[in-house]
């Protein structure tokens, strides 16, 4: 369906673009309280007074002089003139920095509506903004909003429709620089006439003076003499100001932003520190911060282990109490294949995966993740990264796929590759199921904990090796620190559900089908054929029962499936009869490392290409086999 | 006592002193491999020259005069290291010792010439920051582009943002370093003349949380060392 109107949501990171998007479209774009969670543009439809409106959610962007990959996506989308209207979402609590970007949008001449978001949070901080005055100064409609509550979001669309239909002269609203800069912009505009790039002329000229590498390259392809002219003019400006030309222009923009803020904003500083600040001084404390962080992590792990174990046992007992204990091929197929598969999946899904997504959602929404980035920045340097990498690494505990995509917040290719590689080694919720559901439940929580510690040590070691052999150094962290906020229960539930839904839709049928296949193969003896073919690795080297060979293959599809199918394959649902404790540990260890699942491999290919994806996959297979075999030989000495 | 000897002490105190600015006599003695008794004697002489504050039970700390002298020495030392490494290609392991000997005889004039020839380096080969000069220029670019530089001294102290105390306010004078990082800092509001303050610092050379234009930003130590400010 062709949309009547295309509206793009743009603005600094973590100002509530995705919240407005969700309110308007009813979709479930993941939101959270940290800068950089939206790294891809999302699209949704809205029917507004009979009009089909296409809403685009863009990644956060601080400046049109882009820095990291997700910002380029935003700039390209805005600059190429795709949207009919840009809705600039502005954080009322830090107006000055947000206006800096607004001024750049005005410079581009796109029809604009400003959504002044988080007015409630600003009020709490003692900030009041005269939006009428702001509207007049910018000559652009300003709508105060509280996105999380849906206040003001439909007024945005009303204004956007008006803006789109009104014919606007393009550079009426743009800011004027000092005369020494303006004359040079004009000169460059004249030279540029005829070089068609698809961007507004004045904007292209300014970007050339700023030395924006993307624009310079594009102009250079068409007409290199323009670039030479721009360099001379920029040189003249920096000669006058004794500063690089780009800095001069940036400073002027900020001066304008500061002037506007002075006129429209009143600020009454509260006397006692806010709740968020008091939480900061605890959670970012040089000693207390680390203690708190480890305590949180450890309690999550222990809680998950205990709750998941208890829950799956309850479910298992409940279902087994209905077991008719019939014998024969068809009842076997039905019960061991279908029913055991179903309840094993249910126990895993509701006992481990859903609670974990709820906890992760809470951490994301409260704004705790950036604190981890702050605390862990220094340790991250030893593995060639900076603190921001902790955010995708934390997300990887939920699922490796969004983590790999989320690594786009890393600024250089090198940092991104290291962060992606390490993300695939983080035990995701599926692997947590195997570690806690098998080792935690049947061998002991301390062994599960040991597996985690081992995995972290492995991540650290591989990080060190990558850091040693990949040329270059990490440039260091530059990140905005959001304030804490109380997460909304509704949002967390919705978010957990959105993450959980794919599991129910794709994994559940796959696992039940897998259980039936295994049962069929067991009855028809095909299982032993497959298992025997793999037995040199599984039995001889890893010391595991032969039937695990099939589980490893199936585990490539979904790692949690390997545990569920293990229950089916063991026949009765009680794994202890089929495996010794040492075997369980080795099994979980291999599952933890051996290969990223299919979905992750696909994400890897998309993010970093076939070659590097293949390298990561093969390295992890090799590592898992090597470590697994070694662990078996060690473990039989102890248990 | 030779000047060189005192300068070695200045540097040692500068290196060893902790957050509160004081160093223990025993630490200095160990660092310079001198007997504590003779170290104490040198401290007394430095105190007379107004270079240090010294009380036997509290340890030793640099006065403003001593601090300036130490920073100047560090600057000369690290510039020399860059010179020996980049221009003369001396083996890495020798340059520190060489620079240690040369720094004491390097004139201010030579120091400025060296900085210009090396195009205003920001770090020594070992990665430590080179303190800024005290010339009346806005930034390195101006110095490099101007042929006849008037060698006037700056009125006020310019320090890296990392040496501010928590809560202390300062004005950004210039940001050193190139391209992307500098532009990003500018884009986030750290333009020249902006007032900034430090909220907190993570331990073990971790990042800083700074407050700028009403927002909180986390900046890695390595980047922060290139942001130079003037205390207000």
Contacts of A477 in chain B (CB under 8 A): 207, 218-220, 223
Q: How far apart are CA B167 and CA A635, in angstroms?
A: 54
Residue A277: C-alpha distances to residues A273, A284, A290, A367 (Å): 6, 10, 17, 12
- Nearest-Cα distance to chain B for A302, in Å, is 28
Q: How far apart are CA A441 and CA A312, in angstroms?
A: 10
The pLDDT assigned to B7 comes to: 87
Using the beta-carbon criterion (under 8 Å), do A373 and B218 form an inter-chain contact? yes
The pLDDT assigned to A260 comes to: 92
Q: Are A45 and A7 in contact (CB under 8 A)?
A: no
Q: How far apart are CA B83 and CA B121, in angstroms?
A: 10
Task: Give the contacts of B109 (CB within 8 A, at least 6 positions apart).
Answer: B151
**A242: nearest CB among B141, B204, B220:** B141
Residue range A307-324, pLDDT digits in tens: 888 888 888 888 878 877
DSSP E strands: which ranges in B72-190? 158-160, 169-175
Q: pLDDT at residue B105 above 70?
A: yes
Q: Is A29 helix (H, G, I), strand (E, B) or coil?
A: coil
Q: Is A233 helix (H, G, I), strand (E, B) or coil?
A: helix
Which residue on chain B is closest to A242 by alpha carbon? B142
Q: pLDDT at residue B86 above 70?
A: yes
β-pairing verdict for A85-91 and A127-129: unpaired
Which of B137, B187, B179 is CA-nearest to residue B158?
A: B137
The pLDDT assigned to A28 comes to: 73
Structure tokens at A153: 């979001």
- Nearest-Cα distance to chain B for A59, in Å, is 16
Compute how many other C-beta atoms are within 10 angstroms of the C-beta atom of residue A208: 26
Contacts of A258 in chain B (CB under 8 A): 213
Q: Are A480 and B217 in contact (CB under 8 A)?
A: yes
Using the beta-carbon criterion (under 8 Å), do B203 and A286 form an inter-chain contact? yes
Over range A415-430, report the average pLDDT.
93
**B209: nearest CB among A97, A246, A374:** A374
The pLDDT assigned to A572 comes to: 57
Q: pLDDT at residue B154 above 70?
A: no
A371-375, B57-61, B64-68, B89-93, range with greatest mean pLDDT: A371-375
User: CATH code for A5-165?
Assistant: 3.40.50.300
Contacts of A238 in chain B (CB under 8 A): 141
Q: pTM for this one?
A: 0.80
DSSP label of A387? G
Over range B97-113, report the average pLDDT.
87
Q: Are A260 and A266 in contact (CB under 8 A)?
A: no
Which of A134, A115, A105, A118 is CA-nearest to residue A24?
A: A115
Lowest-confidence segment of A449-453, A480-484, B108-112, B129-133 by average pLDDT: B129-133
Contacts of B183 in chain A (CB under 8 A): 63, 65, 67, 246-247, 250
Would you place residue A95 in the very low, low, confident or very high pLDDT band (cuts 50, 70, 90)? very high
DSSP string covering A578-589, please? T--HHHHHHHHH
Task: Give the contacts of A322 (CB within 8 A, at least 6 positions apart).
Answer: none
Lowest-confidence segment of A1-15, A69-83, B75-89 by average pLDDT: A69-83
Which of B92, B81, B26 is CA-nearest to residue B56?
A: B26
Residue range A194-239, pLDDT digits in tens: 887 778 888 889 989 988 888 888 888 888 888 999 999 998 888 8
Residue range B6-39, pLDDT digits in tens: 888 888 888 887 656 788 888 888 888 888 888 8
The pLDDT assigned to A373 comes to: 95
Instruction: Indicate the helix (H) or strand (E) that contains A133.
Output: helix A131-138
Q: Which fold has domain B3-62?
A: Arc Repressor Mutant, subunit A (1.10.10)
Q: Are A395 and A406 in contact (CB under 8 A)?
A: yes
Residue range B172-201, pLDDT digits in tens: 988 877 667 888 898 899 988 899 999 999
Task: Give the contacts of A135 (CB within 8 A, at least 6 positions apart).
Answer: A114, A141, A142
Would you place residue B1 in the very low, low, confident or very high pLDDT band (cuts 50, 70, 90)? low
Q: How far apart are CA B208 and CA B222, in angstroms?
A: 10
Compute how many other C-beta atoms are within 10 angstroms of the C-beta atom of residue A455: 18
The pLDDT assigned to A571 comes to: 62
Residue range A439-490, pLDDT digits in tens: 988 898 899 999 999 999 999 999 999 999 988 877 889 999 998 888 888 8
Residue range A525-552, pLDDT digits in tens: 787 788 888 888 888 899 998 888 888 8
DSSP E strands: which ranges in A245-313? 265-267
Q: pLDDT at residue B148 above 50?
A: no
Question: Which string of b and e fits A21-56 if b means at least 16 CB within 10 Å?
Answer: bbbbbebbbbbbbbbbbbbebbebebebeeeebbbb
Q: Is A480 helix (H, G, I), strand (E, B) or coil?
A: strand
Compute how many other C-beta atoms are within 10 angstroms of the C-beta atom of residue A574: 12
Would you place residue B136 in the very low, low, confident or very high pLDDT band (cuts 50, 70, 90)? low
Residue A313 main-chain phi, psi, to 5 deg = -70, -40
- Nearest-Cα distance to chain A for B195, in Å, is 12
Q: How far apart are CA B22 and CA B36, in angstroms?
A: 16
**CA-based end-to-end distance of chain A:** 64
Above pLDDT 70, what percent of chain B? 88
**Side-chain-facing half-sphere of A569: CA atoms under 13 Å:** 27
Going A440 to A446 to A449 to A454, the CA torsion angle's sign is negative
Residue A580: C-alpha distances to residues A543, A632, B161 (Å): 10, 11, 59
Where exactly does CATH 3.40.50.300 map onto chain A? 5-165
Q: How far apart are CA B35 and CA A414, in angstroms?
A: 49
Using the beta-carbon criterion (under 8 Å), do B182 and A247 form an inter-chain contact? yes
Q: How far apart are CA B220 and CA B224, in angstroms?
A: 6
Using the beta-carbon criterion (under 8 Å), do A374 and B184 form an inter-chain contact? no
Helices then strands, each counted (H, E), chain B: 9, 9
Task: Give the contacts of A205 (CB within 8 A, at least 6 positions apart).
Answer: A185, A188, A189, A192, A230
Question: Which string of b and e fits A127-143 if b means at least 16 CB within 10 Å?
Answer: bebebeebbebbebbbb
Residue A289 main-chain phi, psi, to 5 deg = -60, -40
DSSP label of A484? P
Contacts of B188 in chain A (CB under 8 A): 62, 97, 478, 480
Q: Are B167 and B231 in contact (CB under 8 A)?
A: no
Residue spans per domain, chain B: 3-62, 67-145, 158-231
Residue range A272-310, pLDDT digits in tens: 778 888 899 999 999 999 999 999 999 988 888 888 888
Using the beta-carbon criterion (under 8 Å), do A63 and B217 form an inter-chain contact? no
Q: How far apart are CA A519 and CA A140, in angstroms?
A: 67
Q: Are A197 and A42 in contact (CB under 8 A)?
A: no
The pLDDT assigned to B12 comes to: 87
Above pLDDT 70, what percent of chain A? 97
Over range A318-333, report the average pLDDT.
77
Residues B67-145, CATH architecture: Orthogonal Bundle (1.10)
Q: Which fold has domain B158-231?
A: SH3 type barrels. (2.30.30)
What Rg value do the Cα atoms of chain A yield, rounded? 28
Where exactly does CATH 1.10.287.1770 map onto chain A? 179-267
Which of A77, A143, A153 is CA-nearest to residue A113?
A: A143
Would you place residue B149 in the very low, low, confident or very high pLDDT band (cuts 50, 70, 90)? very low
Residue B158 main-chain phi, psi, to 5 deg = -115, 125
Q: How far apart are CA A314 and CA A563, in angstroms?
A: 17
Would you place residue B156 in the very low, low, confident or very high pLDDT band (cuts 50, 70, 90)? low
User: CATH code for A179-267?
Assistant: 1.10.287.1770
The pLDDT assigned to A507 comes to: 72
Average pLDDT value for chain B = 83
Q: How far apart are CA A222 and CA A160, in angstroms?
A: 35
The pLDDT assigned to B152 comes to: 46
Residues in chain B: 232
**B220: nearest CB among A243, A370, A476:** A476
The pLDDT assigned to B150 comes to: 46
Using the beta-carbon criterion (under 8 Å), do B183 and A247 form an inter-chain contact? yes
Going B217 to A116 to A363 to A458, the CA torsion angle's sign is negative
DSSP string covering A174-202, please? -----HHHHHHHHHHHHHHTT---SS-HH
């Amino acid at each position: 369906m062709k949309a009547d109107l295309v509206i793009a949501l743009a603005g600094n990171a973590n100002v509530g673009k995705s919240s407005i998007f969700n309110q308007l479209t009813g979709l479930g774009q993941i939101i959270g309280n940290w800068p950089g969670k939206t790294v891809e543009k999302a699209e949704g439809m809205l029917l507004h007074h009979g009009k089909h409106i296409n809403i685009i959610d863009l990644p956060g962007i601080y400046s049109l002089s882009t820095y990291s990959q997700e910002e380029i996506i935003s700039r390209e989308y805005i600059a190429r003139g795709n949207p009919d209207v840009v809705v600039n979402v502005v954080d009322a609590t830090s107006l000055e920095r947000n206006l800096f970007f607004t001024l750049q949008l005005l410079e581009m001449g796109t029809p604009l509506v400003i959504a002044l978001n988080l007015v409630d949070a600003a009020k709490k901080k003692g900030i009041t903004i005269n939006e009428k005055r702001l509207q007049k100064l910018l000559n652009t409609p300003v709508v105060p909003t509280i996105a999380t509550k849906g206040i003001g979001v439909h007024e945005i669309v009303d204004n956007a429709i008006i803006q789109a239909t009104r014919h606007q002269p393009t550079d009426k609203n743009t800011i004027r620089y000092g005369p020494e800069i303006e004359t040079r912009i004009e000169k460059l505009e004249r030279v540029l006439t005829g070089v068609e790039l698809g961007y507004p002329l004045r904007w292209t000229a300014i970007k050339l003076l700023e030395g924006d590498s993307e624009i310079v390259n594009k102009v250079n392809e068409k007409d290199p003499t323009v670039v030479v002219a721009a360099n001379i003019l920029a040189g003249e400006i920096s000669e006058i100001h004794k500063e690089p030309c780009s800095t001069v222009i940036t400073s002027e923009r900020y001066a304008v932003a500061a002037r506007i803020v002075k006129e429209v904003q009143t600020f009454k500083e509260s006397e006692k520190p806010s709740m968020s600040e008091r939480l900061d001084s605890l959670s970012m404390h040089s000693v207390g911060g680390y203690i708190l962080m480890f305590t949180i992590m450890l309690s999550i792990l222990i809680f998950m282990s205990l709750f998941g174990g208890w829950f799956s046992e309850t479910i298992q007992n409940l279902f087994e109490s209905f077991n008719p204990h019939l014998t024969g091929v068809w009842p076997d197929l039905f019960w061991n294949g279908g029913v055991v598969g179903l309840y094993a999946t249910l126990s895993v899904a509701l006992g481990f995966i859903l609670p974990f997504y709820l906890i992760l959602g809470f951490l994301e929404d409260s704004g705790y993740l950036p604190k981890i980035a702050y605390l862990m920045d220094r340790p991250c340097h030893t593995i060639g990264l900076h603190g921001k990498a902790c955010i995708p690494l934390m997300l990887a505990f939920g699922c490796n796929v969004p983590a790999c995509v989320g690594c786009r917040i890393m600024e250089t290719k090198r940092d991104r590759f290291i962060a992606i590689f390490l993300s695939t080694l983080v035990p995701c919720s599926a692997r947590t199921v195997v570690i806690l559901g098998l080792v935690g439940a049947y061998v002991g929580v301390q062994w599960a904990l040991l597996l985690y510690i081992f995995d972290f040590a492995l991540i650290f070691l591989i990080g060190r090796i990558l850091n040693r052999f990949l040329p270059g150094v990490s440039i260091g962290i530059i990140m905005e620190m959001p304030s804490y906020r109380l997460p909304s229960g509704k949002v967390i539930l919705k978010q957990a559900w959105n993450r959980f839904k794919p599991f129910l839709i794709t994994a559940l049928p796959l696992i039940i089908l897998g259980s039936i296949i295994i049962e069929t193969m067991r009855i028809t003896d095909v299982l032993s054929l497959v298992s025997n073919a793999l037995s040199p690795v599984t039995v001889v080297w890893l010391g595991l029962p032969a039937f695990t060979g099939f589980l490893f293959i199936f585990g490539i599809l979904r790692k949690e499936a390997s545990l569920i199918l293990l229950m089916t394959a063991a026949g009765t649902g009680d794994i202890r009869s089929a495996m010794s404790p040492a075997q369980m540990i080795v099994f979980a260890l291999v599952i933890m490392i051996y290969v990223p699942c299919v979905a992750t491999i696909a994400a890897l290919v998309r993010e970093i290409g076939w070659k590097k994806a293949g390298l990561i996959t093969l390295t992890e297979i090799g590592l898992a086999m090597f470590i697994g075999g070694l662990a078996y030989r060690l473990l039989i000495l102890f248990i | 006592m030779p000047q060189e000897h005192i300068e070695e002490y200045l540097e040692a105190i500068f290196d060893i002193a902790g957050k509160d600015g004081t160093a223990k006599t025993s630490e200095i003695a160990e660092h310079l491999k001198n007997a504590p008794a003779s170290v104490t004697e040198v401290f007394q002489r430095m105190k007379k020259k107004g270079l240090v504050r010294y009380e036997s039970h509290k340890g030793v700390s640099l006065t403003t005069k001593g601090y300036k002298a130490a920073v100047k020495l560090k600057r000369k030392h690290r510039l020399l290291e860059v010179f020996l490494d980049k221009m003369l290609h001396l083996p890495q392991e020798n340059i520190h010792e060489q620079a240690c000997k040369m720094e004491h005889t390097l004139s201010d004039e030579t120091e400025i010439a060296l900085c210009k020839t090396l195009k205003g380096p920001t770090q020594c080969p070992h990665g430590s920051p080179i303190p800024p000069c005290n010339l009346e220029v806005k930034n390195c670019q101006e110095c490099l582009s101007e042929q006849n530089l008037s060698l006037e001294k700056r009125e006020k102290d310019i320090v890296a943002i990392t040496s501010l105390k928590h809560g202390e306010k300062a004005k950004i004078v210039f940001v050193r370093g190139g391209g992307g990082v500098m532009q990003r800092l500018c884009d986030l509001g750290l333009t020249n003349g902006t007032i900034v303050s430090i909220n907190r610092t993570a331990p073990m050379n971790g990042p800083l949380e700074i407050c700028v234009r009403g927002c909180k930003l986390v900046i890695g130590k390595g980047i922060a060392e290139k942001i130079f400010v003037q205390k207000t």
